[in-house]
Structure 1
Amino acid sequence: MDQALATNTTLKSLRIDIDTADINARLVHESVSEIKVDFIDSVGTAQNKYVSDAKSQLAKKLNALSYTATESKIKLSVQKAYYDLVNAQSQLELKKQSLTRAQTQLKVANASVAVGTRAKTDVLQAEMGVSGAQAALVSAENAVEVARLTLNQTMGVDLSKQWVLTDKDKMGTVTEMPLEEATAKAIKDRVEMAQRQGDVDVAQLNYDLIAKYSAASTYNGQIAKNDIAKAKLAIEDQKTKITMEVTQNYFNLNAAKKAVEFNQKAKESAAESYRLTNLRFENGLATTLEVIQAEEELTTKENQYQDALHQYHLAAMNYQTSIGE
C-alpha cells in the first residue's frame, strides 16, 4: 500500500497543490495582517482582512482533506486489485483441482475398459471432461495474469512483478458495530463533512462581519444569511448521502457474509455427493456420466463459493471505506 501511495502521480500532483495552497495562505495572511483592526471602518475592509484569510486557510485545509480522500480512493483501488488477484488465483487452484479429478476419472475409465467392465463410451465421456477442465484451466491462467498486471499497474510497480499472497482464502476481520454507531462514525470521520462545515464557517464569518460593520438587514446581509442557510442545507444533504451509503454497504456486507456461509455448505454437500458417486462407480452402481455430472456440480459449487468469498471481500472493503476507515 505504501508503494502505491508513494508512486501515484495523482497524489504527487496533489502534494504540489497543497504546497501551493500553503504558500498562498501565508501570502494572504501576511497581506491582511497589515490591515490593523483599529483602521477597519467598512465591510469591504473587514472582508479583506478576515474573509480572505479564512478562505485561504479553508482552501489549505480542503487541499489536505482532498489529499486524504484521494489516498482513500487509491487504497480502495489497490485493495480491489489485490482481491481480484486473490480471486483469480483461487479460481486457478479450483480449475487445477477439477482437472486432477477429471484426469483421475479418465484413468479409472481406461482401466475399466481394459478389463472389460466398462464400455468405450465411458472413456469418451471422461476425455470430454478432461478437455473441458483443460480449457477452463487455460482461461483461469490468463485471468491470473490480467489480474496481476492490473495490480502492478495500480501499485505503480514493475508490470512483471510477481506476488505471493498469503491467507487468501480467509474472510478477514471487519469492524463490527451497530448500524447507528457506524453511521455516526462516518459522519464524524468522513472528509466531506469537514468540507461542508468549512463552508458554513466562512459563510457565518462573512455574515457576522456584515452585521458588525454594516447591518444584517442590508441586501448584502440578507444574501450572506442565505449563504449560511444554503451551506447548512449542504451539510444535511451530505449527512443523508453518507447515511445512505453506509446503510447500503452495511446490508451488502451482511448479505455477502451469509452468502459465503450458504455457499460453503453447498460446496461441502457437493463434495460429499461427488465422493459417494465415486464409491458407487467403483462398485459398478454408477455410470461415468453420473460421476462427471457430480464433478461438474462440485466444480460449480466451488466456483460459487469462491465468487461469494470475493464479493464478501469487496463488500467489506466498501463498508470500511464508507465509515471512514
Structure 2
Amino acid sequence: MKSTLFKRFYSTTLITALLSGSHIAMAAPPAAHAEQANAAKLTLDQAEEKALSSSVDLALLRLDADSTYYKTRQTLQEKSAIKSNSIKKLDQAKKKYEDMAKARKDLVLGEANMKAQENTLRLQVQKAYLELLYIEAQIDLQQQSIKRQFWSSSPGEATEKNVGDLKTSHKQALAKLNELLNENPAKEWKLAADDLTDYKLPPLEEIQQAAHEKRPDMVKARAEKEFAQARIDYLNDYSALSTYLGKIAKNDGIKADLVIQRTKEKADQEIAGNYQKAVTARQALEESSKSRKSGEKRYHEVLSNYRNGNAALSELIEQEGKLLEVETKHAECMYQYHTAVVTFKHSIGY
C-alpha cells in the first residue's frame, strides 16, 4: 500500500518542495546507534502499511464493515423484491424504503468509521516516524560537533548529558513507533530517505472542496441526510408531511442539514488552520536554512583563520558552538515542517 500523503515522502527530505514545487533530495542522517548497521530498512510507506495491516482494532472494523456490506446486499435484495405498486399502507412503505435507506446508511457509516480509524493510525505512524528521525538527526549533529572539537580529547560534561538525554529520547520514540507497528519495543530500524516528487499545493478553497468529499465526518453527515430524506420522501408519498410522523421527519431533515453545515465549517476551519501552520513552518524552515548556511560559512572562515594564526582558539570554540546551534535549529524547523505537512494532509482526508 502506497502512502497517499504524497509519492514516497520521507521525513528527512526537505519538504519545502512540497509547497514550492522544487525538487530536492536529502540523505537520511547516519544511524543513531551502532545496532542500526544491521537493522532492517523501514520506509514511511512500509511503516504505514505495517501498522495498518497489523492493527487489531482496524481489523475488527474491517470485519464489521465487510459484514455490513453483505447485510446491506441481503436487505436491498429482499426489499427490492417488494413491488412499489403492491404497497398500500404506510407500514408497508416503511418496510421497503426505510429499511433500504437504513441499510445503505449503515454501510456508509461502517466504511467511514473504518476510514477514520485508518487515517488516525496513519497520522500516528507518520508523526512517530518523523519524531524518531528528528532525534536521530540531533544525535548525528552532536556527534559531528564532537568530531569538530579537535582541541578537546573528550566531550564536555554538558555535551555528554545532551547525548545521553537524546539517546533516552531515541529509545522512547523507537518504542512508540514499534508499538504502532506491533513490534518489539527495542527493535531497531534503518529509516529511509528518498527523492520527493514535485508537488504544488492547490489553492486553499480547492483543497477544502476536495476535503468535503473525502473526510469521514463529512461522509457520515451526508449519509444521515440521505437517510432523513428517504423518510421524508416515502412519508410524503404514502401519508402526509402534515402528520406527526411527517413533521418529525422534516425536523430530522433540517437537523441533518445543520449537521452538514456545522461539520463543513469545522472542517474548513481545521484545514485553514493547518494550511497556515504549514506555510508558517515552511517560512521558518527557509530562514533556518539560510542561518545554517551562514553559520557553516562563518565557521569555516574562522577555522581557516585559526589555522593561519589569524584567530584565537576561543573564537573558534565560540563559532563551533554557534554552528551547532543553527544546525540544531534547522533540524527542529525541518521536523516541525514535516509534522505540519502530515497534519495538514490528515485534515484533508486520504
Deviates more, 1:289-298 or 1:232-241: 289-298
| Higher Rg of the two aligned structures | 1
Match of 1:204 among 222, 225, 229: 229
Give the structure 1 partner of residue 299 of structure 2. Answer: 274
Matched, 1:229 2:282: no
Q: Which runs of 5+ in 1 are unaligned?
A: 108-126
Distance 1:284 1:30 in 2: 90
Give the structure 1 partner of residue 141 of structure 2. Answer: 94
Distance apart, 1:216 and its partner CA: 1.2
Matched, 1:295 2:336: no
Give the structure 1 partner of residue 213 of structure 2. Answer: 188
Distance apart, 1:29 and its partner CA: 4.2
Matched, 1:163 2:189: yes
Matched, 1:71 2:118: yes
Distance 2:203 2:101 in 1: 38
Give the structure 2 partner of residue 319 of structure 1. Answer: 344
Distance 2:142 2:114 in 1: 42
User: Are the equivalent residues in 1 in contact too, given 2:126–2:342 (CA < 8 A)?
Assistant: yes
Deviations 1:277-315 (A, max 9, x none): 334444555444433322222111111100000011111
Distance apart, 1:173 and its partner CA: 5.4
User: Are the equivalent residues in 1 in contact too, given 2:171–2:186 (CA < 8 A)?
Assistant: no
Match of 1:25 among 55, 72, 87: 72
Matched, 1:246 2:271: yes
Deviations 1:19-63 (A, max 9, x none): 342354355446645755444333233112211221122112211
Cα distance, 1:105–1:173 mapped onto 2, change above 3 Å: farther
Distance apart, 1:213 and its partner CA: 1.2
Matched, 1:150 2:176: yes
Match of 2:57 among 10, 16, 21: 10
Cα distance, 1:242–1:147 mapped onto 2, change above 3 Å: same
Greater share of helix:
1
User: Are the equivalent residues in 2 in contact too, given 1:253–1:319 (CA < 8 A)?
Assistant: yes
Normalised by the size of structure 2, how large is the TM-score?
Answer: 0.79
Give the structure 2 partner of residue 122 of structure 1. Answer: none
Structure 1 SS opposite 2:333: helix
Give the structure 2 partner of residue 60 of structure 1. Answer: 107
Structure 2 SS opposite 1:158: coil
Q: Which runs of 5+ in 2 are unaligned?
A: 1-47
Q: How many aligned positions are there?
A: 303
Alpha-carbon RMSD across the aligned residues, in angstroms, is 2.3
Distance 2:108 2:348 in 1: 21
Distance apart, 1:134 and its partner CA: 2.3
User: Are the equivalent residues in 2 in contact too, given 1:171–1:313 (CA < 8 A)?
Assistant: no
Matched, 1:132 2:158: yes
Distance apart, 1:175 and its partner CA: 4.9
Deviates more, 1:154-163 or 1:309-318: 154-163
Distance 2:207 2:89 in 1: 47
Distance apart, 1:66 and its partner CA: 1.3
Distance 2:102 2:179 in 1: 37
